[in-house]
Structure 1
């Protein structure tokens, strides 16, 4: 179970970092197509109409077919290199921070480390820490996923050099305000909901039948991801719109483009031009992605963490046996 457990040994920071990185790497590779589709929906301005779809993308299946037809299957992994760097770095920082924070709460405060409120605050703070560390990679990932053909950025190095020269260093932190505002409750709800759902699962499933711990982690993680994403989704859309500012030439092929002065201006323009429903563009692929992403993240994290801890214990036992045999 994620977080400090008073009945178990504390999780070594190295093991948490390795497990978080491995979890991020595997999860990113699996959910990249859904992420690309979600970003395309979030960035298009046109209104959606059930009878006469005006937007280029107006359904998950339709979007997938059109992207594959126009750009090839490799398009679903556009920006995969910065996305992988993002996931690996984010996973390591987030889980190390979360494990350390929950242990600190248990040892330095009277609060129970497994309380909903503790997991909410520690999860939110750990995500904010990770976000500040990897925001430039997130901006790069969004731009790569957003560009069509012909490409504006040939590779990661070209993208960094071009953005730095033409837009300045602060461009790598576009969308940081809505990101931080959204990531605290989003991650807090992820961790706290995951903890509560696991406790409910253990209460519903009799102890003698609990042979599918990995399945439990996957199911509880998926449900936690859907719940947290639904409640905080508009901020993710604001972030994506702001991250592609100054990148309008690559967006022209997908329809209308807009420039935003900041977070509040972005929200105001969306309400004025697209209505309140504009805040939830791309929600369907986003929820699908959140279910798989969060489920896989917790699933792989717990799996890799148990594996690394088991390997460490085995090495210690082998060392002790060798030492005693001398």
Structure 2
């Protein structure tokens, strides 16, 4: 993200087409998902566990290292990439929609005189709009991915993506694919906006500190990590609620994972979580999520920027 008033793209001097931004976004989503999928599996397992995440407790998962080791022991190392195919579809569609729509919204904002005065705010607004569009577009893949990750390998209900989708349509309704969409949109608008705005801010800080007009690969990674950490921490309770809403009606697939969490809507989910698990329960799995957010946001922006540079060089 740069201060180039003529072309508000993520890479300085890259006035590229919407197709380039869509392709770069898809590449970014693919690379990021493949690298960070194990952390996502751990995060989801933590979020869906009602019991405390603590040592010396009857809880199934007690810490990040213990959860990794237990999953590998009980389900094999491939379980760390459980639900990877729908997750990849989710990431590719989401990345494509997010970065292409951000580019389009940024170009629109450039046409107004207030853009230069409210530059970081425009990054936030464009990022929020891009996140909402990409989320609606990719949400069914997220629901399928969550169901596949949530089920026990010893009590499998779904055999794959297509089977999961067909079973949801057969036994539930089409609306099930979008269950949890409301809290997700409430979450994703500020989350995506904060990601873009914080990334732009930290890139500016990096340039001032290094006295360099360009952002290096390392600079992109550092700015992305910091942006991901800040954004994820702010919206985390909504992320937890989304995952818990997505498994409602899926109790039969959660055998062996402890007590099943039941709720009716976003507010009820937040209230029940806080009432039964304390306020700390709203941030259950935060460490794993922060680790994942720092890694994924850094990879997302860096891979996107590098893909744009590569696409330009090929022309």
1-structure distance, mates of 2:22, 2:313: 15
2-structure distance, mates of 1:161, 1:206: 56
Q: Given the alignment, which residue of 68, 71, 75 partners 1:71?
A: 75
Q: Given the alignment, which residue of 169, 176, 179 partners 2:184?
A: 179
Q: Given the alignment, which residue of 280, 284, 287 partners 1:284?
A: 287
Q: Tell me, yes or no, if the aligned pair for 2:109 and 2:115 is still in contact at 8 Å.
A: yes
Q: How far apart are 1:206 and its partner, in Å?
A: 2.4
Whether 2:101 is the aligned partner of 1:97: answer yes
More helix by share: 1
Equivalent in the alignment of 2:198:
193
Q: How far apart are 1:5 and its partner, in Å?
A: 4.9
Equivalent in the alignment of 1:127:
131
More displaced stretch, 70-79 vs 212-221: 212-221
Spell out structure 1 runs of 4+ moving beyond 3 A. 1-5
Say which one has the larger Rg.
1
2-structure distance, mates of 1:148, 1:62: 17
Q: Tell me, yes or no, if the aligned pair for 2:48 and 2:261 is still in contact at 8 Å.
A: no
Q: The residue matched to 1:256 in structure 2 has which SS?
A: coil
- Summarize deviations over 1:183-226 as a string: whole Å, max 9, x none: 01111110000001001100000239x6x711111110011000
Equivalent in the alignment of 1:303:
306
2-structure distance, mates of 1:108, 1:14: 24
Q: 1:71 to 1:302 in 2, by over 3 A?
A: same
Q: 1:113 to 1:23 in 2, by over 3 A?
A: farther
* TM-score, normalization by structure 1: 0.91
Q: The residue matched to 2:158 in structure 1 has which SS?
A: coil
Q: The residue matched to 1:6 in structure 2 has which SS?
A: coil
Q: The residue matched to 1:253 in structure 2 has which SS?
A: coil
- Summarize deviations over 1:55-106 as a string: whole Å, max 9, x none: 1101000000000000000001111110000000000000000011011100
- Correspondence list, 1:117-156, <5 A: 117-150=121-154, 151-156=156-161
Equivalent in the alignment of 1:205:
210
- Summarize deviations over 1:163-182 as a string: whole Å, max 9, x none: 11111100000111110001
Q: Given the alignment, which residue of 69, 74, 92 partners 1:88?
A: 92
Whether 2:235 is the aligned partner of 1:226: answer no
Q: 1:3 to 1:269 in 2, by over 3 A?
A: farther
- Summarize deviations over 1:115-168 as a string: whole Å, max 9, x none: 110000100010000001111001111111111123110011110010111111
Q: 1:206 to 1:3 in 2, by over 3 A?
A: closer
Q: 1:61 to 1:178 in 2, by over 3 A?
A: same
Equivalent in the alignment of 1:318:
none
Q: The residue matched to 1:39 in structure 2 has which SS?
A: helix
2-structure distance, mates of 1:5, 1:134: 31
Whether 2:29 is the aligned partner of 1:20: answer no
Q: 1:99 to 1:3 in 2, by over 3 A?
A: farther
Equivalent in the alignment of 2:66:
62
Q: Tell me, yes or no, if the aligned pair for 2:221 and 2:299 is still in contact at 8 Å.
A: yes
- Summarize deviations over 1:280-323 as a string: whole Å, max 9, x none: 111111000001100000010000011112212xxxxxxxxxxx
Equivalent in the alignment of 2:41:
36
2-structure distance, mates of 1:114, 1:88: 31
Q: The residue matched to 2:256 in structure 1 has which SS?
A: helix
Q: How far apart are 1:110 and its partner, in Å?
A: 3.1
* TM-score, normalization by structure 2: 0.94
